Amino acid sequence: MTISASVVKELRERTGAGMMECKNALLEAAGDIEAAAEILRTRGQAKADKKASRVAAEGRVEIALAADGSAGVVVEVNCETDFVARDANFVGFAGEAARLALAHAPADVAALMALAHGAGGGTLEDLRKELVAKVGENITVRRFERVRAGGSLGTYVHGTRIGVVVDVTGGDDELRRDLAMHVAASRPQHVTADEVPAELVARERRILSEQAAQEGKPPEIVGKMVEGRLRKFLNEVTLLGQPFVKDPDTSVGKLLQARKATVQRFVRLEVGEGIEKKTANFADEVRAQLQAHA
């Protein structure tokens, strides 16, 4: 079976394992990159599962809140350069997208783009096309998340690239903002361990069991090692299990317990998350342009 260099490279970037280790794992997994990553982790050859998104695209996140605090929305709008991301026209477009998403609760991005804006009768898509023509770059509304408050909403925007809305019952404005800042910094995937998908927990337990068994420990010790490591994994991916960024000696769960507060939900969007931006070589670009005009 032939394994392409690009697939080997992708696996290597995700796991940090050596090139030959990646190629052998892919051969064993019949080219399945997910299975190959699991093989490397089981053997301890993967330094880390670097499946976390590579942030590369430009743009901004915009947050809009209802006047009565009953709902909030986070929108990601992308462009090609950071120069356009700072342009007043682009900033205004992103704000309009957030306003419409909050006011009309569209089902998806397509429905959002079909909404009328302003008094001119045009749609948000029409406005986008006008902006593209004006700035000379592709502009897209990539995604949005709308949160209806069960308690009270806290928000935080880091620069213009990370936006968080957190729904908290109890506590005060300071706690809600602190929690939103924590989510921005620590990237939890779920609120509690109960929300982690069962198949993910089972997969992690299987990998940890195989790793521990290879260490030659007695079965009764292996079981305890696996459960301890699994608890550590769940703490890393859940908001309540993570150490609070402003006081690492206490967990977010203990902080909430002390403040008699609970987190219902959070939304975190980061510009370019999951998009790999093509890296351009300036010299190659110039050479290509010269050849095109020769």
Tens digits of residue pLDDT in 178-188:
999 999 999 99
Q: Looking at residue 103, what is its pLDDT?
A: 96
> Domain 58-190+264-270 - what CATH class?
alpha beta
38 has a pLDDT exceeding 90: no
Q: What is the mean pLDDT of residues 247-276?
A: 93
Average pLDDT over residues 27-42: 86
The number of residues in the chain equals: 294
> Is residue 285 over pLDDT 60?
no
Evaluate whether 98 touches 63 at the Cβ level (below 8 Å). Answer: yes
C-alpha 205 chain-centroid distance: 24
Query: Which of 230, 237, 267 has its CA nearest to residue 252?
Result: 237
Separation CA 168–CA 43 (nearest Å):
41
User: Does residue 49 surpass a pLDDT of 50?
Assistant: no
Cα–Cα distance, 37 to 43 (Å, whole number) = 10
- Measured CA to CA, the distance from residue 67 to residue 70 in angstroms comes to 8
> Residue ranges per domain, the chain?
1-51, 58-190+264-270
pLDDT reading at 32 higher than 80: yes
For 52-75, write each residue's pLDDT tens digit. Answer: 333 337 999 999 999 999 999 999
Q: What is the mean pLDDT of the segment spanning 122-134?
A: 89
288 token code pair: 């290509």
More confident residue, 253 or 2: 253
Residue 264 confidence (pLDDT) above 70: yes
**What is the arithmetic mean of pLDDT over 116-120?**
78
Q: Decide if pLDDT at 226 tops 90.
A: no
91-113 mean pLDDT: 96
Residue type, 29: A
Q: Give 210's pLDDT tier (boundaries 50, 70, 90).
A: confident
Q: Quote the pLDDT of residue 277.
A: 60
User: CATH second-level architecture of 1-51?
Assistant: Orthogonal Bundle (1.10)
